[in-house]
């Protein structure tokens, strides 16, 4: 977590605030199940949330590893854990009021004594 660039952590917090402010889950859930005419269920809402968290996890993993192929050599346990945590955090409801990832990143940076701190991510060909 400490090696995630600060700019990415701030971007994650902004995405989380936008996702919670606009309440995308209720709109998506109403759009999917309301138009079909099925009875709405709590299990369906949870499955939709997990599906979006999994898609968010893949997007975050791509951003952290910097590769689109997601090779086994590029994706380690640390990348899986951090991308899963951030993906779930972005799409979990009612987390927009707290800056949990920022605090988690700050704690990880303090624990590693700033050994992995970076402000901007590595962009191949640019930086």
In this predicted model, what pLDDT tens digit does every residue of 11-28 receive, in sequence order? 888 888 887 776 666 666
**With 60 as the cut, is the pLDDT of residue 127 above it?**
no
Non-local CB neighbours of 113 within 8 Å, separated by 6+ positions: none
Looking at residues 25-54, what average pLDDT do you find? 66
The reported pLDDT for the residue numbered 22 is 64
Report the mean per-residue pLDDT for the chain. 77
Neighbours of 68 (CB within 10 A): 6
In contact, 120 and 14? CB cutoff 8 Å: no
Length of the chain in terms of residues written:
127
Closest by CA position to 97, among listed 105, 88, 89: 89
Looking at residues 54-64, what average pLDDT do you find? 81
In contact, 102 and 8? CB cutoff 8 Å: no
Non-local CB neighbours of 56 within 8 Å, separated by 6+ positions: 86, 87, 88, 90, 91
Looking at residues 68-72, what average pLDDT do you find? 67
In contact, 60 and 18? CB cutoff 8 Å: no
In contact, 56 and 91? CB cutoff 8 Å: yes
On whether the pTM is more than 0.75, the answer is: no
């Amino acid at each position: 977590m400490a090696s995630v660039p600060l700019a990415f952590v701030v971007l994650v917090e902004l995405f989380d605030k936008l996702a919670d402010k606009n309440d995308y889950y209720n709109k998506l859930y109403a759009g999917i199940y309301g138009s079909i005419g099925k009875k709405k269920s709590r299990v369906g809402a949870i499955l939709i949330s997990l599906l979006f968290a999994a898609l968010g996890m893949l997007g975050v993993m791509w951003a952290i590893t910097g590769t689109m192929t997601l090779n086994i050599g590029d994706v380690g346990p640390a990348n899986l854990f951090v991308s899963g945590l951030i993906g779930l955090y972005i799409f979990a409801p009612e987390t927009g009021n707290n800056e949990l990832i920022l605090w988690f990143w700050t704690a990880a940076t303090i624990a590693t004594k700033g050994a992995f701190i970076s402000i901007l991510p590595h962009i191949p060909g640019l930086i």
